[in-house]
Amino acid sequence: MLGKKCKRRSHILKILYKLVDVHSDRLGLTLAKLIFELRVSGKNLLNICKLVFKISRSENNDSLFQSDNMMGVLLEVLQNEDAHANSEAFLYCLGTIKFLSGNTLLLNELLKKEAVEILVELMEQIIHFNTVPENISTNMSHLLVQLTVTLRNLADLSQSRPKFLATNAFMKLCSLLENYIYDKDICTNVSRILSKLSLYHDCCMALAECSGCYAIILSAVNKHPDKQDLLVRMVFTLGNLTAKSDTARKQFHELEGSIKTVLCLLHTYCDLDKKSQSTMSSTKQKHEGRKQPTEVEDVLIKIVCLLANLSVHPKVGEDLAADQNCVLCLMQIIKYKQIDECEELVINTLAALSNLSYYQNESSVMSKMRKDISNLLLKYMLSNNMEGILEATRVYGNLSQYEDVQDFILEHNGELYAICLLTYSILLASLHIGIHNYRRYPT
């Protein structure tokens, strides 16, 4: 029986260490497993973790880790040893696990060996220890980077979701984000985990129930506004949280500075997008039939989707409809973008305008700009994109309460559009409202 109480443990270790010098990855891994099982510590643990890390860096060695319960042995090191006393050894151990988690077979093996549970518990221990500033070390930060990358890979497996829920991982991830808000790598990895898992209703609800989650996510956005890969995922997560919950929309709206932050991002990225459009035009770059959005467009897609979701709430919707900066930015997008080049951004923008056009009062910029908006929508009514036609028609349906919009629709053969849409067997409530309004208007 191995372990610290193994008879002649010291003698066995001496023999094993001599054999480690033999240049064979297969033998090295077998020896490492035996040494781990003898529960070494200190410098001995560090050296053997370095050896395993070196072996794991080659994808050709992945198959070596698929036998002899090597994944379980590595996880036992994290579970049984002291992370703070062995921080460098843990760094190499977690680095090994991170590399191996890129292999689907080994990733599934990690999940079966309770990697989610072990890593979440380790994360909690590190957070608790490092709440005291003088305890924070560079090794611990690097360790958390490896840990969160591995959790992100595990989040790709559908079977991992119950484990994330059972371990209360979302609350701990929010705590990690809050305590390491200055570390862009940790924040980015957490954003990847949250954006992936928030796609699922049960995980989304669990995240929404975490106290202060909106404030923490918003803090990360404000702390790292220029880190697009973090920004796009955090805003995407907020979009998922507000997609179906009026409570989430209300809570986010009530958070001080939340709407201001989102609108500042919208304005910033609209300007960046416009500049990139000008650059492409001046260099005569063509993107005919382009389907993949640029990085700037990807951020805009998520921001506009979040605004569309938020605007479903009456109070939020009224405030956004009355915000000139918001409406003008959305108008800019539909003015300069082509639906066949950036479909998702255009559809999201039309959906946001559709929601905002529902709120019609004296302060509504949507109402004041209705003629300009009606003109901008025409090209989408004449496109071949049925979803674009649907969203544009909804905006017309809401704005057709105004006589000048009714006139505009009739001048441009509005009823012909209705016939065309009905031919495609699409039932549009907003279209029905529009037709009903201008039928009552004397011609």
143-197: pLDDT as tens digits: 999 999 999 999 999 999 999 999 999 999 999 999 999 999 999 999 999 999 9
80 and 143 in a single domain? The answer is yes
Share of residues in the chain with pLDDT > 70 (%): 84
**Is the separation of the CB atoms in 110 and 155 below 8 Å?**
no
235 and 148 in a single domain? The answer is no
Non-local CB neighbours of 269 within 8 Å, separated by 6+ positions:
296, 299, 300, 303
3-state secondary structure of 363: coil
Indicate the residue among 241, 259, 287 that finishes a domain: 241
Spatial separation of the C-alpha atoms in residues 256 and 253, rounded to whole Å: 8
117 and 27 in a single domain? The answer is yes
pLDDT-derived band at 390, boundaries 50, 70, 90? confident
11 and 118 in a single domain? The answer is yes
Radius of gyration of the chain (CA): 28
Tokens found for residue 434: 């529009």
User: What pLDDT is stored for residue 211 in this prediction?
Assistant: 87
Indicate the residue among 207, 241, 275 that finishes a domain: 241
Say if 76 falls within a structural domain.
yes
| Other beta carbons within 10 Å of 3 | 9
User: What pLDDT is stored for residue 415 in this prediction?
Assistant: 54
Domain residue limits at 223: 168-241
76 and 216 in a single domain? The answer is no
User: What pLDDT is stored for residue 38 in this prediction?
Assistant: 81
Question: Could you report how far apart the first and last alpha carbons of the chain are, in Å?
Answer: 96
Spatial separation of the C-alpha atoms in residues 6 and 10, rounded to whole Å: 9
pLDDT-derived band at 423, boundaries 50, 70, 90? very low
106 and 172 in a single domain? The answer is no
Write down the H helix ranges in 337-425.
343-356, 365-368, 370-381, 386-399, 403-411, 414-423
- Determine which of 58-67, 103-112, 413-422 has the lowest per-residue pLDDT on average: 413-422
pLDDT-derived band at 428, boundaries 50, 70, 90? very low
User: What pLDDT is stored for residue 241 in this prediction?
Assistant: 97
Q: Specify the higher pLDDT residue, 410 or 187.
A: 187
Tokens found for residue 153: 């890979």
Tokens found for residue 294: 């640029």
User: What pLDDT is stored for residue 283 in this prediction?
Assistant: 54
**Res. 380: pLDDT tops 50:** yes
136 and 176 in a single domain? The answer is no
Task: State the DSSP code for 288.
Answer: T
149 and 178 in a single domain? The answer is no
**Res. 431: pLDDT tops 60:** no
67 and 190 in a single domain? The answer is no
As for how many domains the chain has, the answer is 2
Indicate the residue among 209, 224, 241 that finishes a domain: 241
User: What pLDDT is stored for residue 36 in this prediction?
Assistant: 87
Spatial separation of the C-alpha atoms in residues 279 and 273, rounded to whole Å: 10
User: Alpha carbon of 85 to those of 45, 78, 433: distances in Å?
Assistant: 11, 12, 70
Please compute the mean of the pLDDT values over residues 257-267 and round it to a whole number.
96
55 and 137 in a single domain? The answer is yes
pLDDT-derived band at 10, boundaries 50, 70, 90? low
28-81, pLDDT tens digit by residue? 898 888 888 888 888 989 999 999 999 999 999 999 998 878 999 999 999 999
Say if 39 falls within a structural domain.
yes
Non-local CB neighbours of 212 within 8 Å, separated by 6+ positions:
174, 178
Say if 233 falls within a structural domain.
yes
Say if 131 falls within a structural domain.
yes
User: What pLDDT is stored for residue 146 in this prediction?
Assistant: 97
Spatial separation of the C-alpha atoms in residues 414 and 404, rounded to whole Å: 13
User: What pLDDT is stored for residue 443 in this prediction?
Assistant: 33
User: What pLDDT is stored for residue 316 in this prediction?
Assistant: 96
User: What pLDDT is stored for residue 309 in this prediction?
Assistant: 97
**Is the separation of the CB atoms in 386 and 352 below 8 Å?**
no
191 and 143 in a single domain? The answer is no
- Determine which of 17-21, 235-239, 280-284, 336-340 has the lowest per-residue pLDDT on average: 280-284
**Res. 95: pLDDT tops 60:** yes
Say if 189 falls within a structural domain.
yes
112 and 224 in a single domain? The answer is no
Say if 120 falls within a structural domain.
yes
Spatial separation of the C-alpha atoms in residues 99 and 119, rounded to whole Å: 15
**Res. 137: pLDDT tops 80:** no
Mean pLDDT (the chain, rounded):
87
263-322, pLDDT tens digit by residue? 999 999 999 998 887 666 555 555 555 568 899 999 999 999 999 999 999 999 999 999
User: What pLDDT is stored for residue 273 in this prediction?
Assistant: 92
Share of residues in the chain with pLDDT > 90 (%): 66
Non-local CB neighbours of 234 within 8 Å, separated by 6+ positions:
191, 194, 195, 217, 220, 221
Say if 300 falls within a structural domain.
no
**Res. 133: pLDDT tops 80:** no
Q: Specify the higher pLDDT residue, 413 or 236.
A: 236
Say if 436 falls within a structural domain.
no
CA neighbor of 412 nearest in space, from 379, 436, 437: 379
